[in-house]
């Protein structure tokens, strides 16, 4: 499941009665989702990086007496100020979880995917590399670049036996994602791509560079579904040039783009209608009327479509949002012929 946490990230991958949780970006939505699916054991809780939109639920998750978290993967970040209340709370909660559940605490890099995996969910850590982790956040590369937290974001590819896979792009920056694309040993192919940085800027530079980069990402992953874990907020994600780059790169392939919340780029006015695919799932936008797809189930098991009841999204967009919806593609190609690929 990709959860609608607004601007942020949280994903829950369920294998029978245990789960892998990747990021914990808001309120208590991960907790509520685990409760709804009667999950009491988290095999691996992986935090891609230490920014608040990926960590805000982490202290309460670790403090939950009804939840056993076996392993926490959390990378060090010296740019965090240890004396802030949040860092104090994280320290208290992690120690509490270690005392109560024996949680193993370790840092994540490409060598540790197997440790995160469950019986049926195979995890590969695509980034950070060992070299990057040796430098660390705020450290320097051999070329003298000071590493931003996004450079060390943990990117995962999670697959099942039938070959279906999801790539969770975290907030990985342009340089590191380009290195992944250029590295022949990295298998980036996935049926579902959760696009990096909520569809926001990657650091590629100009608008045209962002568009070109998005196209290269989409070509390398070749997804059937692209998910933007975005908020209906001032960031206005996903960015127009990124959607355009993906659309152009995948023109020949039926592909669905979905957002957790209704971007202001698609519709500036409040829409009273509820676009959520599944109102059983907790969504941050559900309570505030901001959802587009809301939280969504991705069916890697192959029993259903990748995005069950995904047609509801198309109905919502066509009938309620209209031609300005970025995912329809009609408003993207200014000066070019609009192509109404609504697959």
Partner 1 sequence: MSGIAGLPRVLGLIDDEPDLSSAIERRLSSFGFEVRLVVPSGPSLSETVTEVMDSAEAAFCDHYLSAGFKVNFSGAELVASLTDHGFPSVLFTGVLPKEQYAIRKNMASIPALLTRDGAEGLSGEPLVTALKESVSEVRDGNPPARRRGRRTPVTIVESRISGTERLVEGLVAGWGGTEPIDIPAELLAPPWCEDPAVAVGHTFFARINISELNPSRLFFDSFEEDPATVDELITDPVE
Backbone φ and ψ for 238, nearest 5 degrees, come out as: -75, 150
Candidate residues 80, 93, 138, 330; the one interacting with partner 1 per rule CB under 8 A: 93
Number of residues that bind partner 1 (CB under 8 A): 27
CB burial of residue 221 (10 Å; 0-12, 13-18, 19+) = buried
256-259: strand order across its sheet: 122-127, 155-159, 165-168, 192-194, 225-228, 256-259
40 near partner 1, judged by CB under 8 A: no
26 near partner 1, judged by CB under 8 A: yes
Peptide bond into 238 cis (omega under 30): yes
DSSP characters over 37-73: TT--EEEEEEES---HHHHTTHHHHHH-TT-EEEEEE
- Residue for token digits 């789960």? 19
Least Cβ distance, residue 160 to partner 1 (angstroms) = 30
279 near partner 1, judged by CB under 8 A: no
Least Cβ distance, residue 88 to partner 1 (angstroms) = 5
21 near partner 1, judged by CB under 8 A: no
Candidate residues 95, 106, 111, 208; the one interacting with partner 1 per rule CB under 8 A: 95
274 near partner 1, judged by CB under 8 A: no
Closer to partner 1 at the Cβ: 93 or 209?
A: 93
Which residue, 202, 119, 220, is CA-closest to 153? Answer: 202
32 near partner 1, judged by CB under 8 A: yes
102 near partner 1, judged by CB under 8 A: no
282 near partner 1, judged by CB under 8 A: yes
Residue 147: CB atoms within 10 Å = 21
272 near partner 1, judged by CB under 8 A: no
- Residue for token digits 């209209």? 322
- For partner 1, what does the binding mask look like between residues 70 and 89, x meaning CB under 8 A? ---------------xx-xx
Contacts to partner 1 by CB under 8 A: 26-29, 31-32, 56-57, 59-60, 63-65, 85-86, 88-93, 95-96, 99, 282, 287-288
């Amino acid at each position: 499941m990709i959860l609608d946490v607004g601007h942020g990230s949280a994903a829950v991958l369920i294998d029978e009665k245990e789960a892998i949780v990747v990021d914990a970006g808001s309120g208590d939505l991960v907790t509520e989702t685990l409760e709804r699916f009667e999950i009491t054991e988290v095999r691996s809780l992986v935090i891609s990086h230490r920014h608040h939109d990926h960590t805000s639920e982490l202290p309460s998750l670790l403090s939950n007496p009804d939840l056993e978290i076996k392993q926490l993967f959390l990378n060090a970040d010296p740019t965090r100020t240890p004396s802030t209340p949040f860092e104090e709370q994280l320290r208290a909660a992690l120690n509490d979880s270690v005392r109560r559940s024996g949680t193993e605490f370790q840092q994540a890099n490409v060598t540790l995917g197997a440790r995160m995996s469950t019986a049926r969910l195979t995890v590969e850590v695509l980034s950070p590399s060992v070299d990057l982790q040796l430098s660390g956040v705020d450290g320097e590369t051999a070329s003298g670049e000071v590493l931003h937290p996004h450079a060390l974001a943990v990117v995962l590819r999670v697959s099942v036996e039938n070959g279906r896979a999801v790539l969770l792009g975290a907030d990985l920056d342009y340089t590191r994602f380009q290195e992944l694309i250029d590295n022949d040993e990295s298998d980036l192919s996935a049926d579902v791509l959760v696009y990096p940085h909520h569809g926001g800027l990657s650091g590629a530079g100009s608008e045209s560079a962002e568009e070109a980069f998005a196209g290269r990402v989409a070509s390398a992953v070749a997804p059937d579904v692209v998910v933007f874990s975005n908020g209906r907020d001032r960031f206005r994600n996903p960015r127009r040039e990124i959607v355009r780059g993906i659309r152009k790169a995948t023109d020949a392939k039926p592909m669905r783009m979905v957002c957790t919340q209704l971007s202001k780029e698609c519709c500036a006015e409040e829409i009273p209608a509820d676009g959520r695919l599944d109102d059983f799932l907790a969504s941050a936008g559900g309570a505030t009327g901001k959802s587009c797809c809301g939280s969504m189930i991705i069916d890697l098991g192959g029993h259903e479509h990748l995005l069950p009841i995904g047609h509801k999204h198309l109905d919502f967009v066509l009938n309620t949002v209209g031609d300005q919806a970025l995912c329809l593609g009609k408003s993207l190609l200014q000066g070019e012929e609009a192509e109404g690929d609504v697959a």
